[in-house]
Amino acid sequence: MILTPIVKTTVETSLKAFSAVIRACGDICREPCESDGYGTDMVRCDHCCTEDFCNGNYSVRYYMELMKQQHTSWIKPLVGEKLYNRNNNITFPY
């Protein structure tokens, strides 16, 4: 089995300000965004693709669109989340 490497752009913010843009290859792509920081509100969002040179977008608009993902889990369920909640009698207002 041949694995196709994932090309990813990770945008990191701290207290809602851009702090880093990291471009790399890897085996996994984080979806949805990852949040940590213990009070510093650090958020990382990935954009992943598999074509050569597909992570070359440098516009601020691109970064802002990518970072909008961090709030979607509050209003839109993750893959399998509705079924899990239904099976476990958990009510969430989607």
pLDDT in tens, the chain (94 residues): 456 688 888 888 887 788 888 888 888 887 778 887 666 678 888 888 888 878 777 787 887 777 777 765 556 676 788 888 889 888 876 6
- Give residue 87's pLDDT: 92
18 found inside a domain? yes
CA distance 1 to 15: 42
Both tokens assigned to 83? 């079924």
Structure tokens at 12: 């990191």
pLDDT at 75: 60
pLDDT at 39: 63
Range of the domain at 32: 6-87
**Residue 25 domain flag:** yes
Is residue 81 situated within a structural domain? yes
In this structure, is residue 92 part of a structural domain?
no
Assess if residue 70 is contained within a domain: yes
Q: Looking at the 3D structure of the chain, how many domains does it have?
A: 1
Asked whether residue 37 is assigned to any structural domain, the reply reads: yes
